Amino acid sequence: MAKLDIIVAPDPRLKRQAEPVKKVDDAVRRLMDDMLETMYAANGIGLAAPQVGVLKRIIVVDVARDDEDRQPLQMANPEVVWESEDARTYEEGCLSLPDHYADVVRPEAVKVRYLDRENEIRTLDADDILATCVQHEIDHLDGVLFVDHISSLKRNMIIKKLQKLKKQQAVEAAPA
Ligand code: GNR
Ligand code: NI
């Protein structure tokens, strides 16, 4: 297994539409495993392939608390096939928008259809934080970040701060 680098916004690779997986084969399984390792190392509860520079419709999720056993989910081509009318607000964060958080409103529960690591079609009924996380990850596959669900004022503030941080880091990394 290998830990991958996580892309931080603003970056055009986070704004693109990811391609469906044709078949979950060994290469896809390896990527799914590397993504889980990367997610755990970053203390995240989800990760989408575009965040590690792979424009394929693959996500991993584990919303188990630290004191619980791991509950890893690995999904290819995840699709919301039902969503509740009731919505809920959750304070979201994103490994591609480090240290920024905002309230996002989404359907409280969803049913998701996907391919598992055996290339079998499965469905997942998700509510609470799992529903929030899976919707957040599927958004990444369509080039959507949680800041795209909040006011443009807050969004621009967060993106500007991250842009500034990137410029500063580029200066620091440049030879004197
Ligand atoms: O680690 C993460 N925490 C989180 C918290 C609330 C709502 C969504 C998330 S997903 C995020 C990891 C991530 O960026 N996944 O794309
Ligand atoms: Ni994210």
Mean pLDDT over 33-56 rounds to 98
Mean pLDDT in residue range 140-166: 98
- The per-residue pLDDT for 22 is 98
- Strand segments (E) across 20-95: 46-48, 58-61, 73-83, 87-92
Assess if residue 2 is contained within a domain.
no
Q: Is 3 inside a domain boundary?
A: no
In a domain, 111, yes or no: yes
Q: Which ligand is nearest to the CA of 89?
A: 1
CATH number at residue 114: 3.90.45.10
Question: Measured from the CB, is residue 57 less than 6 Å from ligand 1?
Answer: no
The rounded mean pLDDT for the chain is 97
Q: Band of the pLDDT at 164, cuts 50, 70, 90?
A: very high
Q: Which residues pair with 59 in a beta bridge?
A: 48, 75
Q: What is the pLDDT of residue 85?
A: 98
- Cβ 140 vs Cβ 51: under 8 Å: yes
Distance 87 CA to ligand 2 centre (A): 20
Return the ligand 1 atom nearest residue 136 CA: 8
Catalytic residues: 137
Total domain count, the chain: 1
Which domain, by its residues, includes 90?
12-173
For the whole model, what pTM was predicted? 0.97
pLDDT exceeds cutoff 90 at 38: yes
Q: How many angstroms separate the CA atoms of 54 and 31, rounded?
A: 9
pLDDT tens, residue by residue, 50-105:
999 999 999 999 999 999 999 999 999 999 999 999 999 999 999 999 999 999 99
151 located within any domain? yes
Evaluate whether residue 48 is within a structural domain: yes
Q: List all residues 6 or more positions away from 101 whose beta carbon is below 8 Å from its beta carbon.
A: 91, 92, 93
Query: Is 49 within the bounds of a domain?
Result: yes
User: Above 90 in pLDDT, residue 140?
Assistant: yes
Residue range 1-21: average pLDDT? 97
Q: Is 113's pLDDT higher than 90?
A: yes
- Provide the pLDDT for residue 175: 87
Give domain status of residue 5, yes or no: no
pLDDT value of position 7:
98
CA distance 69 to 142: 31
| pLDDT given for residue 1 in this prediction | 83
pLDDT at residue 176 tops 90 = no
Which atom of ligand 1 is closest in space to residue 95's alpha carbon?
A: 14
- Give CA separation, 78 vs 36, 66, 111, 116, in Å: 16, 26, 10, 9
Does 40 reside within a domain? yes
**17 token code pair:** 């539409």
Distance, in Å, from the CA atom of 31 to the CA atom of 119, rounded to the nearest integer, reads 14
